[in-house]
């Protein structure tokens, strides 16, 4: 007869009645935030309830409230999730492709236009402007923001390479955002589809970029 194996613990349960693993916890949170983000964007803040989000993503209301104690906390988490994904896209897609400073500067400027016209970001920003006390990232990000800081760093590199004139790189980066991003973003915020297509964005960017460079290049 085989000897009994001692001190062998049963495997942890991850299904019903067991605690989810950390990976599963992350998946649940991401599912909740993705669902909430889509509902906030499509329905607005006031028309979206935690109960609706729970029903749509098949998560218990208590599960959501354990993570996000109020609808405002849920909305803030949705915005933060989007901000993290935007930063990941910037690092993985835009800055991963190397090139000389002017090429990188033009690439990241075009990317800023694309991301600021993203329908979900526009919808969440519109909510922030219409609902008292709610805030999302503006189309003119503040100094210190990690996304904006990537642009400042490339501006500084372009200055060192003699492509842009000397001066405060943060100020120059803000002028680039104003030239390239603010006008189309305002159009989108008003519900207009002026720059909805890639072709229209390209046409606007080409003119805005040329105007910016005409004033920012060394004289």
Instruction: Judge whether residue 200 has pLDDT over 90.
Output: yes
Instruction: Judge whether residue 3 has pLDDT over 90.
Output: no
What value does the mean pLDDT take over residues 4-9? 42
The average confidence (pLDDT) of the chain is 85
Q: What is the pLDDT of residue 205?
A: 98
In the CATH hierarchy, which fold is given to the domain comprising 100-219? Tetracycline Repressor; domain 2 (1.10.357)
Give the Cα separation of 179 and 116 in Å (integer): 13
CA distances from 153 to 6, 97, 105, 158, 217 (A): 60, 15, 10, 9, 17
Q: What is the pLDDT of residue 4?
A: 42
- Asked if 176 contacts 151 with a C-beta cutoff of 8 angstroms, the reply is yes
Instruction: Judge whether residue 8 has pLDDT over 50.
Output: no
Tokens describing residue 59: 């998560």
pLDDT (tens digit per residue) in 9-30: 433 333 344 566 767 777 889 9
pLDDT (tens digit per residue) in 43-83: 999 999 999 999 998 888 999 999 999 999 999 999 999 99
Tokens describing residue 119: 């329908």
Q: What angle do CA 191, 71, 137 make, to 5 degrees?
A: 45
What value does the mean pLDDT take over residues 76-104? 86
Q: What is the pLDDT of residue 135?
A: 57
Instruction: Judge whether residue 40 has pLDDT over 70.
Output: yes
Domain ranges of the chain: 14-81, 100-219
* Superfamily of segment(s) 14-81: Homeodomain-like (1.10.10.60)
CA distances from 189 to 21, 90, 122, 137 (A): 40, 22, 6, 13
What value does the mean pLDDT take over residues 135-145? 57
Tokens describing residue 1: 């007869």
- Asked if 121 contacts 115 with a C-beta cutoff of 8 angstroms, the reply is yes
Q: What's phi and psi for 20, nearest 5 deg? A: -65, 150
Rounded to two decimals, the pTM is: 0.79
Q: What is the pLDDT of residue 91?
A: 83
Look at the block and give the residue holding tokens 């803000």.
174
CB neighbour list of residue 135: distance below 8 Å, 6 or more residues apart: 128
């Amino acid at each position: 007869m085989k000897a009994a194996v001692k001190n062998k613990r049963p495997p942890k349960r991850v299904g019903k009645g067991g605690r989810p693993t950390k990976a599963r916890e992350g998946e649940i949170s991401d599912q909740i935030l993705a669902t909430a983000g889509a509902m906030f964007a499509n329905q607005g803040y006031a028309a979206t309830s935690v109960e609706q989000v729970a029903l749509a993503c098949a998560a218990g209301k208590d599960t959501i409230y354990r993570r996000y104690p109020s609808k405002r906390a849920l909305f803030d988490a949705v915005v933060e999730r989007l901000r993290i994904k935007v930063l990941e896209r910037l690092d993985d897609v835009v800055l991963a492709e190397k090139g000389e400073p002017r090429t990188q500067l033009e690439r990241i400027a075009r990317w800023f236009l694309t991301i600021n016209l993203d329908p979900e970001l526009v919808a969440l920003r519109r909510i922030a402007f219409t609902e008292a006390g709610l805030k999302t990232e503006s189309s003119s990000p503040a100094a210190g923001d990690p996304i904006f800081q990537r642009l400042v760093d490339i501006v500084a590199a372009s200055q060192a390479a003699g492509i842009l004139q000397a001066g405060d790189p943060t100020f120059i980066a803000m002028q680039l955002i104003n030239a390239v991003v603010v006008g189309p973003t305002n159009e989108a915020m008003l519900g207009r589809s002026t720059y909805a297509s890639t072709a229209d964005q390209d046409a606007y960017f080409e003119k805005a970029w040329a105007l910016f460079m005409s004033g920012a290049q060394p004289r």
